[in-house]
Amino acid sequence: MIETHGYGMTRRVEGSAADAELAIRSALADEGFGILSEIDVAATFKAKLDLDRGPYKILGACNPNLASRALDVDEEMGLLLPCNVVVYESGGGTVVSILEPEVMSTITDAAEVADIAAEAKERLRRALEAMA
């Protein structure tokens, strides 16, 4: 089941963060998204702060077609790209959360951005639903 909140869509799944990450990467690829960036928050905290925490990754997902269309409408949309996907373990399972792309349409008056954001949202929702 996908839960929504003001700025994201979340799905809780059984299994490890590593398994969930593989599943969401595959589902995103099926929807035309690639991963442009990856931040291993747990490793960074360990290296920089000597803090131990469970697995936590931020993946920067981008659908080049949608991103190009958004930038054609408003160059400043790049501040909101790529769409962040967060994967972390919690409560015996794993959480996968994706930034709500329709946040973009609240920042600009361009109607075209709302259409692009709605399409991105639908693709990202399908990716969350498709995780095995």
Residue-wise pLDDT tens digits, 9-40: 999 999 999 999 999 999 999 999 999 999 99
Q: Which of 7, 59, 71, 70 shows the shortest CA–CA distance to 34?
A: 59
Q: Which two tokens stand for residue 108?
A: 């600009």
Average pLDDT, integer, range 38-43: 98
Mean of the per-residue pLDDT values for the chain? 94
pLDDT higher than threshold 90 for residue 103: no
pLDDT reading at 132 higher than 80:
no
Taking residues 110-126, report their average pLDDT: 94
Whole-number Å distance between alpha carbons of 78 and 50: 33
Name the pairing type of β-strands 8-13 and 83-90.
unpaired
With a CB cutoff of 8 Å and minimum separation 6, the contacts of 26 are: none
**Looking at residues 49-69, what average pLDDT do you find?**
97
How far is it, in rounded angstroms, from Cα 26 to Cα 28?
5
The CATH classification number of 2-130 equals: 3.30.310.70
- Confidence (pTM): 0.93
**How many angstroms separate the CA atoms of 5 and 103, rounded?**
11
Torsion of CA 19, 37, 31, 3, to 10 degrees: 60
- In the prediction, which pLDDT does 105 show? 81
